[in-house]
């Protein structure tokens, strides 16, 4: 029915839906990439700031002045923490007073940065990044650390500058793009775990599929097969693509989707909308067409029935009279006077009966 009655409408709507999903996924990827570039650039610039270099190298800069400067960076750019440590891993300055004096020598970001390598961690639970050195009120919010070596004028590495950003910053970007009532965009890592907050977190909490949040807790699997959803599976294998026919998402709902892989960060952006909503207009059109066809079919049946009855009734009457004439009752006449073929037949039988009666 779809292919015969409204293929043009279907194809146009399908292209529009996938086009919107593609636009949303690519826009989110663009925003995330830009944000990451700004964070990386911010860490580089702070590490090169003579004020920070001098503070780490000499140790004579008033601690409060440095800490207040780092706090202002958090306020201005949305960082959760900015801190600097010496070569021995001791945190000398921090936007968070609790962190001062802690040692991060064994952390990957300190090891990499102190060796002269710029470092960007993956998104991880806060505890894994800091061993709960940050404030308890953070409740292990998934975060990432960006670290850069701090070098003096002779290019000698005197310490490390690191900043921490929470995944909530990416969540804000994800909420800026709307895809109808059921649509959403979300971020996944290379293992298929969601990195951002699901639009359906409330439902997932009620179903006990997550404890606190979807980020790093929810593996994006088809609940019916317990395997990664089609969108996520194809995305983490390094491909961009879409499915306009529908597949089951992590709720077990049939969705239409577009996915985009970000190789620089090993992240994937997924944009999905319930197939029911996406093809809602088309389904209404289909129902209207089916109603019209059903109405026409019913009308045809009624017309055929009435025509058949109109034809069969006089034929039954003619047959009955003809049988009586054949039995010798020549006085019988057919009462049917029309100009059609049935009327002519009736007239002929009446004349024959009249001739037989007067013989």
pLDDT tens for each residue of 22-69: 999 999 999 999 999 999 999 999 999 999 999 998 877 788 899 999
Per residue of the chain (359 residues), give pLDDT as tens. Answer: 444 555 666 677 788 889 999 999 999 999 999 999 999 999 999 999 999 999 998 877 788 899 999 999 999 999 999 999 999 999 999 999 888 999 999 999 999 999 999 999 989 887 766 665 555 445 568 899 999 999 999 999 999 999 999 888 898 888 888 888 999 999 999 999 999 999 999 999 999 999 999 999 999 999 999 999 999 999 999 889 999 999 999 999 999 999 999 999 999 999 999 999 877 655 555 555 565 656 666 667 676 666 665 565 666 666 776 676 666 666 666 666 666 666 666 676 667 766 666 66
How many beta carbons lie within 10 A of that of residue 271, not counting itself?
A: 29
Give pLDDT tens digits for 279-291. 765 555 555 556 5
Give pLDDT tens digits for 115-131. 999 999 989 887 766 66
Predicted TM-score (pTM) of this structure: 0.74
């Amino acid at each position: 029915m779809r292919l015969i009655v409204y293929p043009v409408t279907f194809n146009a709507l399908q292209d529009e839906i996938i086009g919107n999903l593609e636009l949303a996924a690519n826009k989110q990827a663009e925003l995330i990439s830009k944000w990451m570039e700004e964070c990386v650039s911010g860490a580089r610039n702070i590490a090169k700031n003579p004020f920070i270099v001098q503070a780490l190298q000499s140790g004579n800069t008033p601690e409060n002045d440095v800490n207040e400067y780092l706090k202002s960076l958090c306020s201005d750019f949305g960082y959760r923490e900015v801190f600097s440590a010496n070569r021995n891993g001791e945190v000398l300055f921090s936007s968070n007073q609790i962190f001062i004096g802690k040692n991060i020598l064994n952390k990957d970001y300190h090891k990499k940065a102190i060796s002269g390598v710029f470092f960007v961690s993956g998104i991880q639970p806060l505890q894994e990044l800091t061993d709960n050195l940050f404030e308890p009120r953070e409740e292990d919010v998934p975060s990432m650390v960006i670290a850069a070596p701090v070098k003096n004028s002779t290019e000698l590495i005197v310490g490390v500058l690191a900043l921490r950003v929470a995944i909530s910053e990416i969540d804000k970007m994800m909420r800026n793009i709307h895809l109808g009532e059921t649509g959403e965009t979300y971020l996944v890592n290379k293992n298929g775990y969601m990195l951002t907050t699901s639009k359906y977190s409330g439902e997932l909490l009620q179903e006990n599929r997550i404890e606190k949040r979807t980020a790093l807790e929810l593996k994006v699997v088809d609940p019916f097969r317990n395997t990664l959803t089609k969108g996520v599976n194809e995305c983490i294998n390094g491909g961009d693509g879409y499915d306009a026919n529908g597949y089951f998402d992590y709720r077990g709902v049939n969705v239409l989707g577009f996915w985009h892989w970000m190789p620089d960060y090993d992240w994937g952006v997924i944009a999905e909308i319930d197939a029911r909503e996406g093809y809602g207009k088309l389904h209404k059109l289909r129902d209207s067409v089916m109603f019209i066809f059903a109405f026409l079919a019913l009308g045809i049946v009624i017309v055929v029935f009435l025509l058949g009855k109109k034809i069969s009734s006089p034929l039954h009457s003619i047959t009955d009279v003809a049988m009586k004439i054949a039995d010798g009752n020549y006085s019988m006449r057919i009462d049917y006077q029309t100009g059609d073929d049935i009327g002519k037949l009736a007239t002929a039988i009446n004349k024959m009966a009249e001739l037989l009666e007067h013989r």
